[in-house]
A and B are shown apart, each in its own frame.
Chain A
Amino acid sequence: MADHLGSFELMVLLAVLRLDEDKTYGVPIANEIEQATGRSVALASVYAVLERLEDRGWVSSRVGESTAQRGGRAKRHFHVTAKGIRRVREAKGALVKMWMGIRELQGGTT
Chain B
Amino acid sequence: MKPTDPPALATKLLESLVPLRTSEALLGDLIEQYQSGRSRSWYWRQVILALVISAGREARTRKLQAIRALIVGYLCGASLCYFSTSAAGKFLGPYTVVGAYLLFLPLAFISAAISGWILSRTHSRPMVLVFAIFGVIASLVALAVYALFPGDRMPLPMPVVTWAVTLAINFIIAPLGVLAGGLWGSCEADDASASPRLGAP
How close is B72's CB to chain A, nearest CB, in angstroms?
26
Contact of A44 with B50 in the complex, beta carbons under 8 Å: yes
Whether B57 contacts A73 by the Cβ 8 Å rule is: no
When distances are taken between beta carbons in the complex, the residues of chain A under 8 Å from B57 are 48, 51
Q: B159 → chain A, closest Cβ, in Å?
A: 40
CB of A66 within 8 Å of the partner chain: yes
Complex Cα–Cα for A16 and B19 (A): 23
Contact with B35, one of A63, A66, A69, A74 (Cβ below 8 angstroms): A69
**A74 proximity list for chain B (CB < 8 A):** 24-25, 28
Kindly state the separation between the CA atoms of A58 and B57 in the bound complex, as whole angstroms: 18
**Contact at A43–B29, with CB atoms within 8 Å?**
yes
Which residues of B (1-23) have their CB < 8 Å from a CB of A?
Answer: 6, 21-22
Instruction: Give the Cβ gap from B179 to chain A, nearest Cβ, in Å.
Output: 17
Task: Known contacts A44-B49, A69-B35; decide if A26 and B27 are in contact (CB<8 Å).
Answer: no
Contacts of B25 in A (CB 8 A): 25-26, 47, 63, 73-76
* Contacting residues, chain B, for A71 (C-beta < 8 A): 6, 27-28, 31
Q: How large is the interface on B (under 10, 10 to 19, 20 to 34, 35 or more residues)?
A: 20 to 34
B140 to chain A, nearest CB (A): 22
How many angstroms between the C-alpha atoms of A44 and B18 in the bound complex? 11
Q: Are B49 and A42 in contact (CB under 8 A)?
A: yes
Complex Cα distance, B21 from A74, in Å, reads: 11
Contact of B49 among A45, A69, A76 (CB under 8 A): A45
A39 within 8 A of B: no
Which residues on B are within 8 Å of A, measured CB to CB?
Answer: 6, 21-22, 24-33, 35, 45-46, 49-50, 53-54, 57
A-B contact pairs, 16 of them (CB 8 A): A26-B25, A26-B26, A42-B45, A42-B50, A42-B53, A43-B26, A43-B29, A43-B30, A44-B26, A44-B49, A48-B22, A48-B53, A48-B54, A67-B32, A69-B31, A74-B25
